[in-house]
Amino acid sequence: MEHRDIVPRYLHGAGVEIGAFTTPIPGIKPIYVDRFAEYAGHKTNAEYYGDACDLPFYDHSLQYVASSHVLEHVANPLAALKEWYRVLRHGGIIYMVIPDRRKTFDRHRELTCVEHMVDDFRRGTTQCDPTHIDDFIYQVEFSEFWANTPRELEQEKRDELATKYRQAIGGGVEINIHFHVFQSATALELIAAGNREQVWGGRIEPIEVHEGFPASLPNGFLIVARVNKPWTARFRSAFSSKGLRPDARRL
């Protein structure tokens, strides 16, 4: 299964892709947003600044929100899903590819439990969260995460990165790591928890799940979900502004 097999069924009209970097999802023509204009020496494929938890769109503005290998970089994934729900119209689509812990350099890390991510939401956790620095730095498969590092220098490099991230947090600077690790079951449990806790006021209903996605790089899974908003939100959406907000910042 590839993007071309799924995208035409769901991703139509006005939409956004978050954090496409240099590999946007094929077959769509969204507005691209990213937290960075450049990353790792490469220009990102983004037109506007946009964070997974802070998108520059009016309420009920979009028909889809797409992301690939983004949610694991979000310290507060329920807050991100709440934001995606906010900008989508009733019936809008969340299309997200998430890396499977077992198929990436995160394979040695403990699976993040949903209760932890619910607690992150309740505490208002931000990208300045040091909780997972050691877990990330000292548990990833370093030969894949930081290729070409000689084995004898691995511990030194891990320590260097951990110090760098701690210093950034100490200075109030956001960090970019895999905060959480997922499998499809926990991602679905997270959505169910958000519905149960009434995080977004309506419901997000998964409609398709595909493991080993995409087949050309089968290290993740795809969840396609539909947003169901209460009638009050649907009524308000008929009179709300559409599209980008005037304060949207170009990158």
CATH number of the structural domain spanning residue 93: 3.40.50.150
251 is a domain residue: no
Which residue ranges in the chain fall short of pLDDT 70? none
In the prediction, which pLDDT does 18 show? 98
In the prediction, which pLDDT does 240 show? 80
In the prediction, which pLDDT does 216 show? 97
Range of the domain at 231: 3-120+178-237
Question: Whole-prediction pTM value?
Answer: 0.96
Same domain, 171 and 182: no
22 is a domain residue: yes
In the prediction, which pLDDT does 146 show? 85
Same domain, 228 and 149: no
Same domain, 204 and 222: yes
Same domain, 11 and 34: yes
CA distances from 105 to 48, 54, 124, 142 (A): 30, 28, 28, 7
103 is a domain residue: yes
Q: Do 92 and 200 contact (CB within 8 A), yes or no?
A: no
Distance CA 72, CA 147 (A): 20
Number of domains in the chain: 2
In the prediction, which pLDDT does 54 show? 97
SS (H, E, C) 198-231: CCCCCEEEEEEEEEEECCCCCCEEEEEEEEECCH
List pLDDT tens digits, range 103-133. Answer: 999 999 999 999 999 999 999 999 999 999 9
In the prediction, which pLDDT does 6 show? 98
In the prediction, which pLDDT does 35 show? 92
113 is a domain residue: yes
Same domain, 112 and 43: yes
58 is a domain residue: yes
Same domain, 166 and 54: no
List pLDDT tens digits, range 215-247. Answer: 999 999 999 999 999 998 888 888 788 889 999
In the prediction, which pLDDT does 29 show? 96
Distance CA 70, CA 97 (A): 8
Same domain, 94 and 183: yes
242 is a domain residue: no
Same domain, 113 and 219: yes
Same domain, 147 and 90: no
Same domain, 212 and 170: no
Same domain, 101 and 199: yes
